[in-house]
A and B are shown apart, each in its own frame.
Chain A
Amino acid sequence: MDKHFTARRRRDLIIAAVLAGLAALAPLFIKDVYIQNILILTLMYAALSQSWNILSGYCGQISLGHALYFGIGAYTTELLFTKFGVLPWFGMLAGGAVAAVIAMGLGYPFFRLRGHYFVIATIVIAEIGLLLFQNWDWAGAAMGITVQVRGDSWLKFQFMRSKLPYFYFALALCCLAWFVTWWLEDSKWGFWWRAVKDNPEAAESLGVVVFNSKMGAAAVSAFLVAIGGAFYAQFLAYIDPESVMGFQFSLLMALPAVLGGIGTLWGPVLGATILIPMTELTRSYIGGSGRGVDLIVYGALIVAISLALPQGLVSLFSRAKAKGATR
């Protein structure tokens, strides 16, 4: 089994490298700005979902409040940039650090909660964050922040003329999140997380430090999501509390992983690849009437997939071949 496992991991890495390479070439053929936009969003959501999956999928602590970390990443970057002129690159790291610290701070009380109590606590804390930002005048309150345009440059991470730099950054972020997951999956942490998810009491008795491993998952997860938030802020050049910290963001982050397969390496990527283009296309082709048809289709699809494939789309691939080689 060990041999299979190592071989599979090596294979995963090769597939990922090939896919990333192909994705990097995509802009050579796709010149349409609208499609490029969809690709960027798809990559971003894949990265976010992959990060969410670390805490909620691998470690089993279902969070529906990750918009908080996303918003913190976006706001830290833009507040530092617009108020103090700090370059987004540093703001991004600062945002990630702040989010990780907050995630760990919240972990102290939150990780004592079980099941629905935990889920509701995560929703509630993100909602508090949203309300506070909406009422925080220095941070632009409900109006949000418009990022000053200072021309195209990698230094300031701003590009007006072409979307390609954003595309490559999103791709890099997606690869980073995937690689971190891949790397952690086989580490001590990865095994701890799966043990904590399956049975915290048994894990504790076997010497897994349950609390610390949840904290680790929360910190990594929040850090990566905040980087995503910083990216999104620079990409749109405008943020307001509702659009970066609203509940719908927490869900949009979770959905690709849920559809693709929770707690799996490929689930979030697969889920995002299908879900995000679909969302965007239904929105622009049948949502234009403003009558909610896109919502109906989208919602029905979520119901259908979650009922028909509780383990996500990934299970379609593994069911066929992995009869014996489970782990």
Chain B
Amino acid sequence: MGLLYGLIAVGLALIFGLMDVVNFAHGEFLMIAMYVSFFLFTFFAIDPLLSAPLVAAALFVFGAVVYLLVVRFAMRAKANAGMVQIFSTFGLAIVMRGLAQFFFTPDYRSVPHSWLGGKTISIAGIFLPEPQLMGALVSILAFAGLYLFIHRTDFGRALEATREDPGAVALVGIDKNRVFALGWGLGAALVGLAGAIMASFFYIYPDVGASFALIAYVTVALGGFGSVFGAFAGGIIVGLVEATTALVLPPSLKSVGIYAVYLLVVFIRPRGLFGQM
């Protein structure tokens, strides 16, 4: 579960690291991904595991479009820049939730009998649910891929460079908007991956994103904004804390542990564990 949180969070971390914008519609991106995965299963009988790349591709396009239609303008605001970003992405989240309710109704849906759903595997006497295990595996691969991508490819370097000095980058002929749009697409694609995997073991409904979004913000902030590795580490910590809290407190209070650990960490290190500056 922790790695999955990490995967949800890493897209957010990427977008933030790229341009200092917190996407308050991140949970809704996840929700959309789960629905895409659900419909691919219902209409084309494609297992969520197989559709994950398709979902990621769809979300990539979606993320880039959102950047071009909304975020691009939010970043131009000179006054109250922080507020404009928060409220424009938040307004977007409300619209997306409304649209989901309109088209898909507020009903709870789930993907029945997927390949992995409900199966468990026994490793050294510990029973682990297969979907979660697969989620962890995909997350690790995605992290590794992202890490290599950022540090080894031209586009990755362009992302980093644009983050550091958008002005200078323009001088060498890199289109800032294109880089940012691709960055948003990439961030959204990662959530798409997470959503597709989660669709096989989670109920899908218009508000599902909200419950994960806050944990994703906490995960990113815990690791430190601007650090992809931080989001990975944050995810693992959040997963462990959640599991530990569940042993001590009633299930309804399990997130309290996560929140408390976040507060504790930022009080000691206001920049998060691996945050820069």
Cross-chain contact A299 with B263 (CB below 8 angstroms):
no
**Which B residues from 17 to 75 make CB contacts under 8 A with A?**
22, 70, 73-74
User: How many A residues, CB 8 Å from partner?
Assistant: 45
A300 to B102, CA, bound (A): 15
| Among A116, A131, A297, residue most surrounded by chain B Cβ atoms (within 10 Å) | A116
* A18 proximal to B (CB < 8 A): no
Interface mask (A272-305 → B, CB under 8 Å = 1, otherwise 0): 0000000000000000001111111111111110
Q: Find chain B residues with CB under 8 A from A304 CB.
A: 91
**Which B residues from 210 to 225 make CB contacts under 8 A with A?**
210, 214, 217-218, 221, 225
Cross-chain contact A294 with B78 (CB below 8 angstroms):
no
Q: Find chain B residues with CB under 8 A from A291 CB.
A: 101-102, 105
Cross-chain contact A299 with B217 (CB below 8 angstroms):
no
Contact flag A117-B221 (CB < 8 Å), given A128-B259, A293-B98: yes
Q: Find chain B residues with CB under 8 A from A295 CB.
A: 94-95, 97-98, 101
* B99 proximal to A (CB < 8 A): yes
Give the total number of A-B pairs whose CB atoms are below 8 A apart: 137
A317 to B242, CA, bound (A): 50
* B88 proximal to A (CB < 8 A): yes
A145 to B270, CA, bound (A): 38
Cross-chain contact B260 with A296 (CB below 8 angstroms):
no
* A121 proximal to B (CB < 8 A): yes
Cross-chain contact B95 with A303 (CB below 8 angstroms):
yes
Among A97-105, A107-115, A162-170, A211-219, the stretch in contact with B: A107-115
Of B92, B99, B260, the contact of A292 (CB 8 Å cutoff) = B99
Q: Find chain A residues with CB under 8 A from B22 CB.
A: 116, 119
A301 to B91, CA, bound (A): 8
Cross-chain contact B79 with A311 (CB below 8 angstroms):
yes
* B83 proximal to A (CB < 8 A): yes
A290 to B105, CA, bound (A): 8
Cross-chain contact B98 with A311 (CB below 8 angstroms):
no
* A270 proximal to B (CB < 8 A): no
Cross-chain contact B256 with A303 (CB below 8 angstroms):
no
A301 to B95, CA, bound (A): 9
* B250 proximal to A (CB < 8 A): yes
Q: Find chain B residues with CB under 8 A from A307 CB.
A: 70, 73-74, 77, 84, 88
Contact flag A127-B214 (CB < 8 Å), given A117-B272, A292-B101: yes
* A251 proximal to B (CB < 8 A): yes
Cross-chain contact A128 with B70 (CB below 8 angstroms):
no
Cross-chain contact B206 with A292 (CB below 8 angstroms):
yes
Residue of A nearest to B106 (CB): A290
Residue of B nearest to A132 (CB): B256
A303 to B270, CA, bound (A): 30
* A258 proximal to B (CB < 8 A): yes
**Which A residues from 116 to 132 make CB contacts under 8 A with B?**
116-117, 119-121, 123-125, 127-128, 131-132
| Among B88, B92, B225, B255, residue most surrounded by chain A Cβ atoms (within 10 Å) | B88
Closest CB in chain B relative to A323 CB, distance in Å: 16
Closest CB in chain A relative to B14 CB, distance in Å: 15
Cross-chain contact B94 with A310 (CB below 8 angstroms):
no
Interface mask (B234-264 → A, CB under 8 Å = 1, otherwise 0): 0000000000000000101101100110110
A299 to B91, CA, bound (A): 4
* A173 proximal to B (CB < 8 A): no
Cross-chain contact B94 with A299 (CB below 8 angstroms):
yes
* A255 proximal to B (CB < 8 A): yes
Q: Which residues of B contact A (CB under 8 A)?
A: 16, 22, 70, 73-74, 77-84, 86-88, 90-102, 105-106, 206, 210, 214, 217-218, 221, 225, 250, 252-253, 255-256, 259-260, 262-263, 266-267, 270-272
Residue pairs across A and B with Cβ atoms less than 8 A apart, 28 shown, are: A62-B83, A112-B270, A117-B225, A117-B270, A117-B272, A120-B218, A127-B255, A127-B259, A128-B259, A131-B252, A131-B255, A132-B253, A251-B90, A258-B83, A292-B100, A292-B101, A292-B106, A300-B91, A302-B87, A302-B91, A303-B70, A303-B87, A303-B88, A306-B84, A306-B87, A307-B77, A310-B78, A310-B84
Q: What are the nearest 6 A-B pairs in CB distance?
A: A295-B98, A292-B101, A299-B94, A302-B91, A299-B95, A296-B98
Q: Which residues of A contact B (CB under 8 A)?
A: 62, 64, 109, 112-117, 119-121, 123-125, 127-128, 131-132, 134-135, 247, 251, 255, 258, 262, 290-304, 306-307, 310-311
